[in-house]
Amino acid sequence: MIVLVGIALGGAAYWWLHQPLDLGPEPLELAIEPGTTPRGVARDVVAAGVKTDARLLYAWFRVSGQDRAIKAGNYEIPPGTTPISLLQKLARGEEALRALTLVEGWNWRQVRQALAKEEQLKRDSATLTDEALMAQLGRPGVAPEGRFFPDTYTYAKGSSDIALLRRAMHAMDRRLEAAWAQRATDTPLKSADEALILASIVEKETGKASDRGQIAGVFVNRLRVGMLLQTDPTVIYGLGEKFDGNLRKRDLQTDTPWNTYTRPGLPPTPIAMPGKAALLAAVQPEATRALYFVAKGDGSSHFSASLEEHNRAVNRYQRGQQ
């Protein structure tokens, strides 16, 4: 009888361990705080909505020998989860991950706005000024514009937005360092920071990817001969929230630190987040005689080596004159 009872209990335990837990049709969210005991974890699982006996779960944790391996964190329990797969998830620390995409060409204001919309991120940066935030990231005195690499970043629910920004900042550090190491020997750029600034301009000016290298070449040519860069995105950046979508002649004449119509050389900071391709274009521009370019209306640009040719292209593509 003892043997039969043991076999029956073993069979029941095997069946229970391999049966999907009853948690309804939708995934459940489980938050395990640091310091929670295995018994407390079992209770938290039931409190999250899993319809089972917390004592059974706790017994399984103990018998498995992995009860002390359970990690704190935020988890998602999908339908079909068995007691075995649940413990594996908790012991491995397989937290539920969300994703935030920082888009190439975004400026810092847009990054702040994107962070504010992420309900699952802790908004630790919300009350910090730009200066205080950069100091906390270990970059005191550095402007945040352009310092974060545009990419998709995963994060666990409840993690800090500062931690995500730190990862994006280090990613930009690596990308910029790699690009600067590949710079052309005759570049007029004096530092990796200048490469980052130029790359941000190239990013904002490029409508068609195949034009990126030549656009960079135009700006490098202008830097070499001391011409004003005269790029509209820098003027728009300098206007900030005052820009209403319509760039006027008076805007081009309104001096700001970023207005490349009124000030020579590169602006003092990047104007957006450049991607990898823009970083490489800034340090390895396409060889060209062009000093001007104008948008053709289809995403591409027309490049000109002389002002006369450029004016004809402006008349054709911007004013509709043949």
pLDDT in tens, 110-121: 999 999 999 989
Helices (H), the chain: 2-18, 38-47, 54-64, 83-92, 108-117, 130-136, 161-181, 192-205, 212-225, 232-239, 249-253, 276-283, 307-317
Residues 6+ apart with CB under 8 A from 119: none
Domain residue spans of the chain: 1-92, 97-177, 185-319
Return the H-helix or E-strand segment holding 98.
strand 97-101
- 196 pLDDT above the threshold of 80: yes
CATH superfamily of 1-92: Endolytic murein transglycosylase (3.30.1490.480)
Residue 69: what pLDDT?
94
Band (pLDDT 50/70/90 cuts) for residue 322 is low
Q: Closest Cα to residue 268, out of 252, 256, 278, 280?
A: 256
| CA dist., res. 49 & res. 116, Å (int) | 29
Band (pLDDT 50/70/90 cuts) for residue 183 is very high
Band (pLDDT 50/70/90 cuts) for residue 8 is low
Q: Closest Cα to residue 202, out of 188, 219, 185?
A: 219
Give the pLDDT mean for 205-220: 96
| CA dist., res. 125 & res. 316, Å (int) | 48
What distances in angstroms separate CA 102 from CA 33, 105, 150, 172, 236, one per listed residue?
29, 9, 5, 12, 20
Helices (H) and strands (E) in the chain, counts: 13, 6
Contact 217, 286 (CB under 8 A): yes
- What φ, ψ does residue 71 adopt, rounded to 5°? -110, 145
Band (pLDDT 50/70/90 cuts) for residue 15 is confident
Residue 237: what pLDDT?
97
Residue 31: what pLDDT?
85
Give the pLDDT mean for 49-74: 93
| CA dist., res. 111 & res. 108, Å (int) | 5
What are 246-302's pLDDT values in tens digits? 999 999 999 999 999 999 999 999 999 999 999 999 999 999 999 999 999 888 999
Least confident range of 90-99, 127-136, 188-197: 90-99
